Every structure is written in structure tokens, then in C-alpha cells.
Chain A
């Protein structure tokens, strides 16, 4: 079975992750531009970060047979450094028309400040001009209010909900997001976001239409295999393979295909992974380098 993880920050991950992802059937990934933990102080570091997303990281992924795409944007946290944010806005037009840039993202609210709203609006306008989808980060604090406010702003600018993927949803936000016509993404992220057992219930209640599962794996304690692992859990809990494929592959593809910059043809002919071998217990890591295997190969050539 093939997976498309539409939210994963590979610049923070090691080659072990890439090996395991490839072995688990992750065929394509989308890396949103985000905060890197250490706040940036110069526009030039944003430029080099964007260059990494369209350059070296894309190349690195290709070494493992994984197709890498990205979304480009100014994240909400750093939107609060207004002078820097203005300079980043000047850079964005250089990147948004590039090959493999499948949207503006991840943008939205963090503290829900005036500056954050200003740059959300400006970037939503940019997405309209470039006819690109938008990938939305919803805030950790006061999430429900922040999510609704995000949708209000986007609709005020004139963005069509069908071109927006709202991420990091939970049980409290999903209904409003789906009712208003947006794509609802769920980040399976240990401890701070959503465990995958909760997703089983959400799928039972809301079905699979416009629902997306991603990992948002980054520099924190997170799981680059969250999408294939969740697929295995869903199978175990009796969700149909068709529905699993819908939320882990077809839906994210359909959402970001609207950019014209990602297509199944990009990875046609790449080796698929046999779903039965994938879903049988711990064979999920087959081909990856678990500690035991790594240590058994002690000869360094």
C-alpha cells in the first residue's frame, strides 16, 4: 500500500527515518515551511531554508525513492516579528511558482495576534493570485476559537474552502471544518496532538470524505511512521482498506493536486509495498534499520 504523508518536516529527520518510511510504503511527502525551533533573525535564513526545501531535501528524499513536495509560507509564530515578516513576504513570490510547490503553508494562527492575522490575510491573497491551495496550521492554545477565526479570515479574503487544508484538527474542531467545506487533516503526534486510537472514533463518526491523516513529524518527539502505523491500526480496528487508502493517500493527493504540481504520474512505476506484509504486526519496520539489525551489521565498509 502506498501512503502520502502531507505534513512532515524532513529537515529535522535522519536517514533512518527515510529508510523506515520508504520501507513502510510512504511514497510521497509534503514538507510545509515552518518554525525551526530556534527563531530566525534574518530574512536570509528564510531564503536558505526555502532553498533547502526545494533543493537538498528534495534530493535527499529521492535517494530513498520518496517524492518530496513542499508548501512555502511564513509561519504564524514568526509573523510576530513584523519587520522580519515583511522581508519574508518579499521573498515568497520568488518561490511560490516553482516546481513541486503545492501550496502556501503552513500559515494561520499561533497566539492569535493582530500581526498574525495581517500576514495570514496577505498570504491568503498570494495564494489566490498564484491559484494555489493553502495549508493551515491551527493553534495549540484556544484551538477551537482560532480555527473558526482562521476560516472567517480566509472566507473574507475570498478563498474557496475546497482549496484549503486545515491541519491539527481534533474532536472539537472537525465538525465546523467539514461543515464549512474545508479539508480536515489530523496530525497523529504522540502526547501533544492526537493519538491514533482517537482517529478511529472520528472516522466512525464522520466517514472518510475530506479527511486526511498526517504525521507532522518534526524536531520534537514525533513519529515519521505515524501514517503507515495509523493505517495498520485502522485495519486492525476493522476500517476498510478502501477507506484507509482514502485518508492516507487519495484525499491528500486530491487536495494538493489542485496546485497542478503533484500527480500520481510522478511516482508511477515506483515499487508499491505489499499491504498484507505491511499490516501484519511488527513487519511494518521490515527493511528499516531497527537497533537489532543495525547492531548485527557491525562490519563498516
Chain B
């Protein structure tokens, strides 16, 4: 399957058709495996009606009415080859951990994306303006599959201002949209907020591609603030400093060895492993065990992230920005 990116779509209908139809069909196949036959046939019928003639009001009803047909407790199951198919069509996009509501709504949104630009933008705006929590998450999850990305960026940034973890996650985690479309300033705010509300950085798509000088510095300042208050900074944060180890940050790395926290040492070693700065030579000597673990593959940013990940529960601790 060719790697066609929707965000490059600029009005050429042929390219659009080729890309979008298989994605919607693939997602519908995945949903069919998980959901009841009645629910799926309701959705297929709705899609057929809306394909014939797009009507806004019935579309609104269908979008919220997903909750009346599908099972909110049921998770989606996709085969490895289906997941690979999603990755081939839109790199970074996945339906892992999704529930039926989200997938059914994303399929409807892809159909919405096939409408004229003004109809699409107007409809998605009013959906977002009246959306409940799961609906908002579904809308943001679909962003990387929708056209006119440049018109969606502001609303994604606005969504990240939410205090509600599930909404923040639907944009920031396992979603290729921010890395592809955010400015550095917006990207940096997202990563910093993820740290503030204890979200797992390793699940942010494109983290290593979008790191930058300003972000590395902001991480360092945040660490100083936390340390002054006798608090900690999640070890994953230092991943954003790889390749940007200034004098100041190299001092921070030294400090990481003093915290007594094994994950801090591991983070320092991971930064060192990909940085040839000679002034860090003495640190290497003090982190031999960790550096060996990197060499043998038992330590990586992914592994560290998984280890640190806060379990996601509905009744988790309140998120404060």
C-alpha cells in the first residue's frame, strides 16, 4: 500500500478517493469484527444514506446516536495485519485501546471529510461545540484522517487546554496530528502540559522528530523549579534534551545521579548514549551499568516510558494544568 498522506491533499479529487475509501473500509472491517451485527448494519445504512445525500441534521443524530447502538464497554480488537494496514495508510495512526463508540464516530467523520470544505468545517465545528467527552475524544482522534488540516489546528490546540485527561490524551497520545501540524510553540506547550499532568511521553507520536532547543531549555527550567520545591520531574522529560545538551543541561544530568531515583539515572544514560559531548565523559564512567543495559536492549526510552506510565483509570487523580 502506498504511503499517501491526507494532509498533502490540496483539492485533487482522485488522490482523495484513492486514499480515503480504503481507510474507511478498513476501519469498518475492524468495527464489524467487534460490534454486534445490528449496530454495524445501522452504521452501514447510515453511511449509505449520507453518501447518497449528505444531510446535516440526521448526521448529528447519527453521530451522537452511536451511543444508542454500540456497546460502550466493548473494546476494539484489530489483527496485527489490520494495525499494519492503518500504519501504512496514516503513519502513527492506531485504534489500539479504542472503544466501539470512538471507532464508529471516526468512520462517520471520514464520511464528513468527503463533503465540500465549507460543509465539512461548519459541521465539525458545531459537533465539537456541542460534544460530550467521548464525542470530543472521537473527533480529535479522527483529525489525522481528515482533510483541511490547516483549519483544524487551532481547535486541536484549544482541546489541549482541557482539564479533562481523556480529551488531552485523544490529541496528544498516539495521534500523528500534532507532530505533523503544530508550530514549535504549540508542540512545546503540549509536551510540557503532558509532563505537568503525568501523561506518558513515549506515547506522543513524533516526540524525537519535534524536539528543539527551546523545549530542551524549558525542560531544564522546569526541573530547576521542581528541584527547588523539593519535587521531582518525570525521567522521560529528558528525552526532549537529546542532542541539545548545553552546559546547563549537562549540570542537570549530573544532578540526576544525585536524586537516588533509578529511573533518573536511566534517563541520564539514555541522553548520554546519543550524545558525543566530551564534557559528559566523566558521567559515562558513573553510568556503566545503565549504558550496558542500553547496549543489550533492555533499556530504551520506550521501556522507560512503559515502566513509568501511570495506570489510566476513570477515577484517577484530578488533572491540573
Residue positions of A touching B, CB distance < 8 A: 47, 50-51, 54-56, 58-59, 62-65, 91, 93-95, 97-100, 260-261, 265
- Tell me the minimal C-beta distance from A61 to chain B in angstroms: 10
In the complex, the chain B residue whose C-beta lies closest to that of A99 is B67
Q: Are A62 and B65 in contact, with the CB atoms below 8 A? A: no
Determine if A97 and B133 form an interchain contact, defined as CB atoms under 8 angstroms apart: no
In this complex, the interface size class of chain B, counting residues with CB under 8 Å from chain A, is 20 to 34
Contact of A63 among B126, B129, B136, B315 (CB under 8 A): B315
- The answer to whether B72 touches A99 (Cβ under 8 A) is yes
Among the 9-residue stretches B41-49, B56-64, B212-220, the one with 4 or more Cβ atoms under 8 Å from chain A is: B56-64
Q: Beyond A62-B314, A94-B60, A265-B73, is A99–B130 a contact (Cβ under 8 Å)? A: no
A97 touching B68 by the CB < 8 A rule? yes
**Quick check: B134 and A59 within 8 Å, CB to CB?**
no
Q: Which of B60, B73, B126, B133 contacts A54 (CB 8 A)?
A: B133
The distance in angstroms between the C-alpha atoms of A91 and B130, with both chains bound, is 9
Decide yes or no whether B93 CB sits under 8 A from chain A.
Answer: no
Nearest chain-B residue to A260 (Cβ)? B68
**Pick from A47, A55, A63, A97: contact of B67, CB under 8 Å:** A97
Q: In chain B between 84 and 139, which residues have their CB closer than 8 angstroms to a CB of chain A?
A: 101, 126, 129-136
Is A93 in contact with B60, judged by CB distance below 8 angstroms?
yes
- Residues from chain A with Cβ under 8 Å of B273 in the complex: none
* CB atoms of B164 and A59 under 8 A apart: yes
Residues of A within 8 Å of B134, CB to CB, are 99
B21-65: which residues lie under 8 A (CB-CB) from chain A? 57, 60-61, 64-65
What's the Cα separation between A100 and B135 when bound, in Å?
Answer: 12
A-B contacts, 14 listed (Cβ < 8 Å): A47-B130, A51-B130, A51-B131, A56-B164, A58-B133, A59-B133, A93-B57, A93-B60, A94-B60, A98-B64, A98-B135, A99-B72, A99-B101, A99-B132
Across the interface, A98 reaches (CB within 8 A) one of B72, B73, B132, B318, namely B132
Which A residues are CB-close (under 8 A) to B126? 94
